[in-house]
């Protein structure tokens, strides 16, 4: 029978031929304050990377309020939960979104990880390990704030994109989040995206504030990936349940995303996506979570 799992395996076999980069990179998108635009960013950034020839699998890792599927107008049949608690494979739970985007829907999956037996946990790790080399990027859209699960995910990832708006509360929360992740004793690689900027100047000033504080008080560099304009088309697209880069391809927000995707691919990778691969990442994450 030619079912969804078989169709996906075929698609992914093609991915393997198309893949351009080295190892599969694991990328998290997070913020200190909620509602700053992480999910919209994750979805549209993944679509923009695909346009530039990269293969991306997006994970909705927001524990409390998973909603990536809602943003795509796609009713997800399966989520991480089905992999953990029922007998589904990774190929069963990958969903096909707009423009052929592959994604895994959220739900209560992530905190279920804490209550798994070792055998279940190993099954989970083995299943995700099947993705090794099949995608250029695994992108995790996390919830806001800092749960232990999210912090473990961020600390284990190759890099983390921190999304903030120019609002002072969002800026201080972004800074606090980076500080907290570092207190886990790890050296995460942060990149910054300023969303909802009135203009380029406001976006740059926001980035400068964060970069300066990070340099002075944490001794780390937080390079700016780019700025996305405050654009009413984003909210319009959300109401239409269509990613804004698809619904409004000529909008300011879309232009921002496109230039961020290009900047991201141009930036040298600070942490190599080699040793341990997906398995190494997951073992590290689980260790930190416990
Ligand atoms: N560039 C933008 N211009 C205008 N409005 C925006 C922009 N980005 C996001 N928004 C608005 O902010 C809302 C929240 O966005 P989104 O759901 O992506 O945030 P989030 O950070 O994922 O939230 P949560 O913390 O709850 O997961 C959107 O529904 C939209 O109305
Ligand atoms: Mg979100």
Q: Quick check: CB of 34 below 6 Å from ligand 1?
A: yes
Domains identified in the chain and CATH numbers:
4-9+25-289 (3.40.50.300)
pLDDT at 188 over 90: no
pTM of the model: 0.91
Of 106-115, 157-166, 250-259, least confident by mean pLDDT is 106-115
Q: CB neighbours of 245 closer than 8 A, spacing ≥ 6? A: 44, 47, 48, 253, 254, 257, 258
Ligand 1 atom nearest to 31, measured from its CA: 21
Secondary structure class of 95 (helix, strand, coil): strand
> Which parts of 64-141 fold into alpha helices (H)?
68-71, 80-85, 90-93, 109-112, 118-129
Mean local confidence (pLDDT), 193-213: 98
130 or 2, greater pLDDT: 130
122 or 15, greater pLDDT: 122
pLDDT at 20 over 50: no
Ligand 1 atom nearest to 228, measured from its CA: 1
Ligand 1 pocket test, candidate residues 30, 35, 244, most atoms within 8 A of CB: 35
What pLDDT does residue 268 have? 75
Query: What confidence tens digit (pLDDT) does each residue in 224-233 have?
Result: 999 999 999 9
139 sits in which H/E element? strand 137-142
15 or 283, greater pLDDT: 283
CB 208 within 8 A of CB 238: no
> Which parts of 99-160 fold into alpha helices (H)?
109-112, 118-129, 148-156
pLDDT range class, residue 147, cuts 50, 70, 90:
confident
**Closest among 136, 156, 140 to 60, alpha carbons compared:** 140
Ligand 1 pocket test, candidate residues 30, 37, 195, most atoms within 8 A of CB: 37
Question: How many residues does the structure list for the chain?
Answer: 290
Of 69-73, 118-122, 157-161, least confident by mean pLDDT is 118-122
What pLDDT does residue 176 have? 93
pLDDT at 69 over 80: yes
What pLDDT does residue 12 have? 65
Mean pLDDT of the chain, nearest integer:
86
Structure tokens at 165: 């708006």
The position carrying tokens 């990027």 is 137
What pLDDT does residue 120 have? 77
Distance of alpha carbon 192 from alpha carbon 175, whole angstroms:
11
The position carrying tokens 């341990």 is 276
Distance of alpha carbon 44 from alpha carbon 281, whole angstroms:
25
Alpha carbons within 13 angstroms on the beta-carbon side of residue 280 total: 13
Cα distance between the two ends of the chain: 41
pLDDT at 270 over 60: no
Q: How far is the CA of 62 from the centre of ligand 2 (A)?
A: 7
Q: What percent of the chain has pLDDT over 90?
A: 55
What pLDDT does residue 56 have? 96
Q: Quick check: CB of 240 below 6 Å from ligand 1?
A: no
Secondary structure class of 220 (helix, strand, coil): coil
């Amino acid at each position: 029978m030619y079912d969804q799992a078989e169709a996906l395996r075929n698609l992914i076999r093609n991915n393997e031929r198309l893949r351009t980069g080295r190892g599969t990179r694991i990328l998290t998108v997070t913020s200190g304050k909620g509602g700053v635009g992480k999910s919209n960013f994750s979805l549209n950034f993944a679509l923009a990377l695909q346009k530039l020839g990269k293969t991306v699998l997006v994970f909705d890792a927001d524990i409390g309020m998973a909603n990536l599927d809602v943003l795509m107008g796609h009713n997800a049949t399966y989520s991480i939960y089905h992999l953990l608690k029922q007998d589904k494979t990774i190929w069963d739970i990958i969903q096909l979104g707009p423009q052929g985007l592959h994604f895994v829907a959220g739900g209560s999956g992530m905190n279920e990880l804490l209550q798994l037996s070792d055998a279940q946990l190993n099954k989970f790790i083995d299943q995700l390990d099947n993705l090794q080399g099949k995608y250029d990027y695994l992108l995790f859209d996390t919830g806001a704030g800092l749960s232990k699960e999210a912090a473990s995910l961020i600390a284990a990832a190759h890099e983390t994109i921190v999304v903030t708006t120019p609002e002072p509360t969002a800026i201080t929360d972004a800074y606090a989040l980076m500080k907290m992740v570092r207190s886990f004793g790890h050296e995460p690689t942060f990149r910054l995206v300023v969303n909802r900027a009135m203009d380029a100047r406001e976006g740059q000033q926001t980035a400068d504030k964060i970069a300066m504080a990070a340099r002075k008080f944490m001794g780390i560099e937080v390079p700016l990936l780019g700025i996305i304009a405050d654009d009413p088309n984003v909210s319009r697209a959300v109401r239409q349940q269509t990613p804004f880069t698809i619904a409004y391809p000529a909008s300011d927000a879309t232009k921002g995303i496109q230039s961020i995707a290009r900047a991201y691919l141009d930036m040298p990778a600070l942490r190599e996506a080699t040793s341990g691969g997906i398995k190494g990442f997951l073992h590290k994450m689980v260790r930190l979570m416990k």
